[in-house]
Amino acid sequence: MHRRLVLQEPVSRAALWSRRLAWFAVLVLALSLLLVRLREPSLEGLAPVAAAYAVVLAALVLAVIAFAGIWRQGYRGVGMAASASLICVLLLLPAGYLGYLFATRPALSDVSTDAEDPPGFARSQAVLKARAGHVPPDVPPEQRRLQRRAYPKALPLLLDLPAETAFAMAQKAATALGWQVLEATRPGGRSGAGRVEAIARGRALRFAEDITIRIRPRVGGSRIDIRSSSRLGGHDLGANAARIAAFAAEMEQLVESR
């Protein structure tokens, strides 16, 4: 009996290594994100994440090379190259979304519902300790003008409720949103204004954002202004405006449920 010798095309080495690198990138990215969450947030601390995405791009380039070799030389390994490409695309989607926000949102890191007289941040010992001594700086007028154009719906909350009631609701809203309330001062005293100081942290990287809420009495009710400021970088990717909108929505629900 004669056996027929079946010759198979060799497996594309680029396809093999693209799949290996893609799964390695998953591991590196997961570990780097965990490392960022465990450390004190900083721009320098994002270096491992950038390195992980460099591996992702290398795996994607190898997958493209593999497809070219498979097309021209008839190598095997199209499944490996396809799976590597899919993994890389899934890993790149969050980065692409952040890039979209960077390109479409204004370069702001501090947003307030009162652009003319934004609430100041408390400097008490307890608040400074919780914020590691950080006090958000004053924002130049041109930045506030940019904010008004970019976020015209970031407006004060005018309530037909006493300032004491509005103050209690503001505290409740901050807690419901998962913010860490640092200090709360009831309305009254020389200025008549109440204040809630808080810290919000992002879900993914846990970057800290500083928040201050000012409650002022007015004729027939009260006025609430909120200011949200990012600690890192000069671009918040729209996070502060979104946080103010979330607070306004939470306050609206609390008012309606009364």
Q: Quick: pLDDT tens for 125-159.
A: 999 998 989 899 888 888 888 999 999 999 999 99
Tell which residue, 44, 33, 87, has the closest CA to residue 62.
87
The residue from 104, 138, 153 where one domain ends is 104
> 199: which 2 tokens?
């810290």
Same structural domain for residues 40 and 164?
no
Residue 14 confidence (pLDDT): 86
Residue 38, in any domain of the structure: yes
Whole-prediction pTM value? 0.82
Domain count, the chain: 2
Phi, psi of 39 (to 5 degrees): -95, 170
Same structural domain for residues 211 and 180?
yes
Element (H, E) at 89: helix 78-104
**Residue 33 exposed, middle or buried by CB count within 10 Å (0-12, 13-18, 19+):** middle
Same structural domain for residues 121 and 219?
yes
Same structural domain for residues 70 and 89?
yes
Q: Tell me the pLDDT of the chain averaged across its residues.
A: 88
Range of the domain at 125: 110-256
Average pLDDT over residues 234-244: 91
CA distances from 152 to 39, 113, 141, 251 (A): 36, 9, 16, 19
Same structural domain for residues 93 and 119?
no
The residue from 79, 104, 129 where one domain ends is 104
Phi, psi of 6 (to 5 degrees): -95, 120
Tell which residue, 187, 180, 166, has the closest CA to residue 252.
166
Confidence grade of residue 103 (pLDDT, cut at 50, 70, 90): very high
